[in-house]
Structure 1
Amino acid sequence: MRKIFNCLYVALFRTIEDDGVEHSGYMSFMILLSIFPFLVFLLALTSFLGASELGQNFIQIFLESLPEQATESIEKRIRELLSAPPQSLMNLAIVGSIWTASSFVECLRTILNRVYQIKSPPPYIRRRLLSIIQFLIISALITFTMFLLVVIPILFTKIPIILETIEKYKIILNFIRYFLILILLFLGASSLYYILPNVKLNFIDVFPGALLTVILWIISGYLLSTYIVYYNQLNLMYGSLGSIIVTLIFFYIINMIFIYGAEFNYLMKNYENIE
Structure 2
Amino acid sequence: MTLRPLRFCWRILYNAVSHYFRDSGSAFASHIALSGLMALFPFLIFATSLASFIGARAYTQQSVNALLKMLPDAIAGPIVKEVVNVMTIQRGGLLTISVIGTAYFASNGVEALRTALNRAYRVVDRRSLFFCRFQSLFFVIVGTIGLMVISFLLVLAPLVINILQHDYPVIGQYVGTIRFWRYAIAVVVLLISLLIAHKWLPAGKRKLADILPGIGVTMVVWVLASMLFAQYLATFANYVSTYAGLASIMVAIIFLYMLSAIFILGGEINAAIMFYRNRQQQPGQLVRAIEQKEEKEEGLKQQNNDGQNDHTVVS
1:86 maps to 2:81? no
Q: Structure 2 CA distance, aligned partners of 1:171 and 1:52?
A: 27
Q: Give the direction of change, closer, same or farther, for the CA distance of 1:92–1:152 in structure 2 (3 Å limit).
A: farther
2:42 matched to which residue of 1?
Answer: 37
Which whole-Å deviations, capped at 9, do the CAs of 1:48-97 have from their partners, x for residues lacking one? 22222210121121012111112333221112234x22315964552232
Q: Structure 2 CA distance, aligned partners of 1:166 and 1:74?
A: 37
CA contact (8 A) 2:20 2:26 kept: yes
Q: Structure 2 CA distance, aligned partners of 1:222 and 1:190?
A: 23
Q: Give the direction of change, closer, same or farther, for the CA distance of 1:110–1:183 in structure 2 (3 Å limit).
A: same
1:207 maps to 2:212? yes
1:141 matched to which residue of 2?
Answer: 146
1:229 matched to which residue of 2?
Answer: 234
Structure 1 gap ranges (5+): none
1:46 maps to 2:45? no
Pairs aligned (count)? 274
Q: Structure 2 CA distance, aligned partners of 1:260 and 1:4?
A: 14
Q: Is the radius of gyration larger for structure 1 or structure 2?
A: 2
Q: Structure 2 CA distance, aligned partners of 1:173 and 1:54?
A: 16
CA contact (8 A) 1:23 1:111 kept: yes
Q: Give the direction of change, closer, same or farther, for the CA distance of 1:155–1:51 in structure 2 (3 Å limit).
A: farther
Which residue type is aligned with residue 59 of structure 2?
L
Q: Structure 2 CA distance, aligned partners of 1:149 and 1:60?
A: 11
1:191 maps to 2:196? yes
The equivalent position to 1:258 in structure 2, one of 260, 263, 266, is 263
CA RMSD of aligned residues (A): 2.6
Which residue type is aligned with residue 45 of structure 1?
L
CA contact (8 A) 1:157 1:163 kept: no
1:117 maps to 2:127? no
In the TM superposition, what are the counterparts of 1:12-27 in structure 2 within 5 Å?
12-27=17-32
- Find the residue that maps to 2:127 and give its secondary structure: coil
Q: Bigger shift: 168-177 or 52-61?
A: 168-177
Q: Structure 1 CA distance, aligned partners of 2:170 and 2:28?
A: 47
User: Which one scores higher on RCO, CA 8 angstroms, separation ≥ 6?
Assistant: 1
- Find the residue that maps to 1:198 and give its secondary structure: coil
Identity of aligned residues (%): 27
2:302 matched to which residue of 1?
Answer: none
- Find the residue that maps to 1:87 and give its secondary structure: coil
The equivalent position to 1:6 in structure 2, one of 11, 28, 42, is 11
1:106 maps to 2:132? no
1:60 maps to 2:70? no
1:181 matched to which residue of 2?
Answer: 186
CA contact (8 A) 1:156 1:162 kept: no
1:245 matched to which residue of 2?
Answer: 250
Q: Give the direction of change, closer, same or farther, for the CA distance of 1:104–1:48 in structure 2 (3 Å limit).
A: same
1:20 to partner: Cα distance: 1.3
Q: Structure 1 CA distance, aligned partners of 2:153 and 2:60?
A: 12
CA contact (8 A) 2:210 2:274 kept: yes
- Find the residue that maps to 1:77 and give its secondary structure: helix
Which residue type is aligned with residue 138 of structure 1?
G
1:137 to partner: Cα distance: 2.4
